[in-house]
Amino acid sequence: MAAFTKGYMGKILRINLTSGQVAVEPLSEELVKMFIGGRGIAAKILYDELQPGTDPLSPENKLVFITGPLAATAFQSCSRWIVTTKSPLTGGMFRASAGGGFGAELKTAGFDALIVEGKAEKPVYLWIKDDQVEIKAADQLLGLLSRQTTDAIRREMQDKKIMVAAIGPSGEKLVRFAAIVDDRRTASRGGVGAVMGSKNLKAIAVRGSKHVAVAERSRMLAITKKYGETVQTEPKFQGFRHLGTAAAVGFCHEVGVYPVKNFQEGVLENVSGRLTGEKVDEIFIKDAYCNRCHIHCGSVLQVKDGPYASDAIEGPEYETLYSFGGEVGNTDLGMIIEANRICDDFGVDTMTAGCCIGFAMELYEKGILTKDDLDGLDLTWGNHEAIIALLKKIVNREGIGDLLAEGTRIAARKIGRGAEKYAMQVKGLELPGYEPRGIKAGGLNLATAALGASHCVGQSPEEIMGTETVDRFAAEEKGAMCKRNQDKVAIYETGIVCIFPMALKLVGLTGLKDMLYAATGIEQFNSEDYLLSVGERIWNIEKAFNVREGFDRKDDYLPERFIKEPLERGPVKGHTVEMDQLLDDYYEARGWDKQTGAPLRATLERLGLVGVADELERMGKLPG
């Protein structure tokens, strides 16, 4: 066995839905050493194989499903999976990440990655059982909710342990922020489910029975034991293990970074009495967790009284408590849980869905949209009946929901009349639940991430969690801080390690180094400096993909609201974002051109991306 297959299966599965061709390709050692796995390898594959200008919803677009060298081993919180594609929401490179069991199952079936290309003539699903790969008819699955799809495939194959990544009706209808659902965990953002739907691919079902070999088993087990004991004994993990991110609403509101009414305000009345961790705890049933994870940060909740009383359901997490809470001026916890259920069943991103509704509510408030435009809905802030009614229209592309299913950027352009000012998005991706005026490095990440406004690829724990003595309102020195956080997250997402062990300081860079080396035995991975260079390389190839698509400095800006409109009350009162200063500082830290935002040749060459530099130069997109 070649050295680089320790921690890896050494194979990539490629399926062309147009021709029906199935091929198995070797995982190259060069690719592994340059990008490690996960997000890095997927980004390189997409950059190399996708032609600039490709329509994201065309057969020419590709989906790269990928795991990492730590997946399906004894290491905990490391079996996440990523799907990378060109986003129909942003038009740029996108990666969506999920927990659940699909990633580990794909790996134990014998594959580090699955590349899906082309478009099936009729609806299909993929069946992968170790070396057996089939493209099966999926007519019987059309219209089924995501969970129903999983259940139907398991019944058909008579195996309850099959792992399924599926789209719901929203993916079939090409809602531009449709998700891919792995049980109740989702690869949510950027419209990856719409790309899957555009290929007539309803689901991917996997069953694996192979073993993942590692370089140093005893070292792996010792590291796993150490971290397991820390999770069990350290007090700071206990609250997070119980309620996960749902407990963050009170804290984020207290420090003024919980967005309210489409980011117009910094305070939401009655949050402390209705949406805090204590209120969530009142309806708590049991913990939930992803494959091979001892943190157990998920929660199964049940609303037993009122109009939203129903069966128990996993979630919601903080981002849904924001997007269907403060974002729409709502404090009804039952309604948020019902919205979460609808989004998971139909397969859409809760963040963009809630933001589309908050956007429409502000347009209604400003008189840009009327009741007639909104199918008679009274979209006043906090009207939870209207919010649920509009959500159902969006996931089904009915009435006004058909327009909002395009996302706020496209919808605003179609509405006109100044609506674009109220679309809280970057590069087409709606903002998550963190007020940029209150965390400058965090806001800078939202502006500069290749994905658009994604907090997951470069959150600033120094600012939001107070892990270091940092002035969160200061603009100075935030460029280097933002870069450092972004590069670190990219390294973790090669593993693929969940972001929470990093944010909670369970697994630091030294720990990650030890884990990657124990799994793979690759000498370069035993160096923190080398890992940091890989993180930087990933950011540069993602950026180069977007530059190739026509993105430039203007696409790295937050909406005007954050730059020109200070909040009028709350802990962030009076603050705005110094966008130009932050960008200049960031581009300098990155080695990117301050005029265009594109990587400089010297930066690309230092990172071993000479071919990328040459291509950008041929296209006239290389600075200088």
> Do 490 and 457 form a contact (C-beta atoms < 8 A)?
yes
Contact 457, 482 (CB under 8 A): no
Q: Comparing C-alpha atoms, which of 186, 194, 474 is closest to residue 351?
A: 186
Angle at 411 between CA 458 and CA 548, to 5 degrees: 50
Alpha-carbon span 32 to 550, nearest angstrom: 29
Three-state secondary structure call for residue 475: coil
DSSP string for 544-572: HHHHHTT--GGGG---HHHHH--BSSSTT
The CA distance from 116 to 552, in Å, is: 29
What is the SS3 assignment for 180?
strand
**Rounded CA gap, 608 and 602, in Å?**
10
- Among left, alpha and beta (phi > 0; psi -120 to 50; other), residue 52 is beta
- Contact between 47 and 92 (Cβ < 8 Å): no
Res 313: pLDDT? 84
How does DSSP assign 288-330, residue by residue? E--TT-SS--EEEE---SSTT--S-EE---HHHHHHTTGGGT-
Length of the chain: 624
CA distance 179 to 165: 10
567, β-bridge pairs: 573
| Alpha helices (H) in 87-246, listed in sequence order | 102-108, 146-157, 169-172, 192-198, 217-233, 235-243
Q: Residue 541's pLDDT is what?
A: 98
Omega of the bond leading into 36 within 30 degrees of 0 (cis):
no
Render the burial of 111-120: b for 16+ CB within 10 Å, e for the rest. Answer: bbbbbbbbbb
- Is residue 205 within 8 A of residue 125, CB to CB? The reply is yes
The whole-angstrom separation of Cα 447 and Cα 602 is 24
DSSP conformation class of 3: G
The torsion defined by the Cα of 513, 515, 519 and 525, in degrees rounded to 10, comes to 0
Q: What is the DSSP letter of 431?
A: P
Helix (H/G/I), strand (E/B), else coil: 84:
strand
> % helix / strand / coil in the chain, to the nearest 5?
45, 15, 40
Q: Are 281 and 246 in contact (CB under 8 A)?
A: no
Q: Which residues contact residue 553 at a Cβ distance below 8 angstroms, ignoring those fewer than 6 apart?
A: 583, 594, 595, 596, 597
Query: Which residue is listed with tokens 């809602």?
Result: 175
Torsion angle, alpha carbons of 433, 558, 603, 90, to 10? 80
Domains of the chain and any CATH numbers: 3-207 (3.60.9.10), 234-430 (1.10.569.10), 436-495+527-618 (1.10.599.10)
Please give the Cα distance from 255 to 266 (Å, whole number).
9
Split the chain (624 residues) into runs of 10 and give each run's mean pLDDT: 76 98 96 97 98 98 98 93 98 95 97 98 98 97 97 96 98 98 91 98 98 96 91 78 81 92 92 80 81 79 88 88 96 94 97 98 98 98 97 98 98 98 98 96 97 92 77 95 96 91 85 96 96 98 98 98 96 97 98 98 98 97 91
Read off the tokens for 476. Answer: 């100075």
Work out the burial of residue 11: count CB atoms within 10 Å of its CB; fewer than 13 is exposed, 13-18 middle, 19 or more buried.
Answer: middle
With tokens 């190839």, the residue in question is 541
288: tokens are: 């939930």
Beta bridge pairs of residue 117: 16, 62
Is there a contact between 12 and 26 (Cβ–Cβ < 8 Å)?
Answer: yes
Model pLDDT, residue 467: 59
